[in-house]
Amino acid sequence: MAFCSVCKFLRRGKYFVLLLLVLSVLAWIATFAGETMKSVQVSPTTVQTVHKGETLEGELNSLRSVTDLQNTPAPKVKCPEESPLLQGALKLSFESSLTLKDVEQENKAVAEGQYRPPDCTARQSVAILIPHRNREKHLLYLLHHLHPFLQRQQLHYSIYVIQQAGDATFNRAKLLNVGYLEALKDYNWECFIFHDVDLVPENDYNLYICDKQPKHLVVGRNATGYKLRYKGYFGGVTAMTKDQFHKVNGFSNIYWGWGGEDDDLRIRVELQKMKIVRPPPDVARYTMVFHKRDSGNEINKDRMRLLGRTPQVWRKDGLKNCLYKTLSIERLPLYVNVTVDIGKPQAS
Ligand SMILES: *[C@@H]1O[C@H](CO)[C@@H](O)[C@H](O)[C@H]1NC(C)=O
Ligand SMILES: *[C@@H]1O[C@H](CO)[C@@H](O)[C@H](O)[C@H]1NC(C)=O
């Protein structure tokens, strides 16, 4: 008895779904009546899947796909090789009265840190990762310049601020590993920019896209007379594809305090026979916003010893063993704030 009433219910349910389906197909045909036959030809396959659909959920999904079809906007063309919006070298301003609200007002097209060019499909999808603690003013200046800069480059991008919780010694490299792993949970980013909070790019021909080889974007900064700090320098702002970064097992997790972690990454890149490329020096220029060394980010006196071990330990020390606890993820208008507990230095 109970079994049969279930049958009846199912049968009735099926008719109802069928009726809904017929109605929506009719509505759909009516909407597309003016269009070419080509688009109508899509319908038989959709209808077939509905008949084959065995569960109620399957049928509902097929119904949904019919409505989705109606809402799909016309496909966009690929953005041009060189964006027509680029302006070249700019004089940067750092107004002390600037607020986060001002920057939000200036960037209404950005939502939850993310932006897509409105008129074309971006050539790359890029996640910008900024390690952070107690540098709110620098972050504000960087967001103020970086959002319009990236929009002029017609990129699909998102900005992630990786905030180290607590007051153990700062660990830039581990924060960047966390940023990479967390950003990939949101979207399959093909390119990552590892970005210091105090460096602001001066020229939008310095493209925030990835290359066939790892790319170092800071050739010069005002603090060093716009000269490369030293041959092989790979710090400040770097760009690596998802695959390049994965191949080197990311950054090392064991550099606490200032220095060394960028040289470690260079060694990893070289061990993989990759070659670091740089944009021309007249383009790869940055302004370094003035600051004193932060407490909690003292020079890492152990860095030379650690660098000597990189060829032996890189396979085990990196993305693969990056342990952390995500404390919060705040999706703010201009950036995603990922706050993490990354632990503290261990005796080694
Ligand atoms: C670089 O420019 C910034 C912003 O104008 C300024 O605060 C800083 O002092 C400059 N640094 C040097 C060494 O000129
Ligand atoms: C990120 O979130 C944490 C936790 O809410 C907060 O303490 C911190 O100030 C935030 N950082 C930024 C840059 O928004």
Q: Which ligand has the shortest distance to the CA of 341? A: 2
270 assigned to active site: no
Give the β-pairing of 77-78 and 120-121.
Answer: parallel
pLDDT tier at 41, thresholds 50, 70, 90: very low
261 assigned to active site: yes
**pLDDT higher than threshold 50 for residue 260:** yes
Least confident of 164-173, 179-188, 222-231, 333-342: 222-231
Reading phi first (left if > 0) and then psi (alpha if -120 to 50, else beta), residue 225 is in: left
pLDDT tier at 238, thresholds 50, 70, 90: very high
Work out which ligand 2 atom sits closest to the CA atom of 335: 14
**What pTM does this model have?**
0.80
Residue among 167, 180, 184 at smallest CA distance from 297:
167
Cβ 330 under 6 angstroms from ligand 2: yes
- Non-local (6+) Cβ contacts of 125 within 8 A are 155, 156, 157, 187, 188, 189, 190, 191
d(CA 44, CA 122) in angstroms, rounded, equals: 33
Residue among 169, 126, 111, 129 at smallest CA distance from 342:
169
Cβ 134 under 6 angstroms from ligand 2: no
294 assigned to active site: no
CATH number for region 100-341: 3.90.550.10
Can you give the residue ranges of every domain in the chain?
100-341
Give residue for tokens 């970005």: 195
Write down the mean pLDDT value for the chain.
86
Ligand 1 centre from 223 Cα, in Å? 6
d(CA 71, CA 264) in angstroms, rounded, equals: 49
d(CA 254, CA 257) in angstroms, rounded, equals: 10
Residue pair 328/165 in contact (Cβ under 8 Å)? The answer is no
106-128 pLDDT per residue, tens: 999 999 999 999 999 999 999 99
- Burial (0-12, 13-18, 19+ Cβ within 10 Å), 268: buried
Residue pair 345/303 in contact (Cβ under 8 Å)? The answer is no
Using alpha carbons, list the distances in angstroms from residue 130 to 62, 254, 336.
Answer: 42, 18, 10
Best of 145, 290, 291, 292 to mutate for ligand 1, by most ligand atoms within 8 A of CB?
290
Position 2 scores a pLDDT of: 46
What radius of gyration, in Å, describes the C-alpha atoms of the chain? 26
pLDDT tier at 35, thresholds 50, 70, 90: very low
Ligand 1 centre from 236 Cα, in Å? 16
Residue among 200, 212, 183, 194 at smallest CA distance from 89:
200
Q: Which of the listed ranges 4-8, 180-184, 230-234 does the model predict with the highest average pLDDT?
A: 180-184
Position 3 scores a pLDDT of: 47
Q: At what angle do helices 303-313 and 261-271 cross, to 10 degrees?
A: 30
Set 59, 182, 198, 263: catalytic member: 198
Q: Is 121 helix (H, G, I), strand (E, B) or coil?
A: strand
Residue pair 216/232 in contact (Cβ under 8 Å)? The answer is no
How many other CB atoms are there within 10 angstroms of residue 129's CB atom? Answer: 24
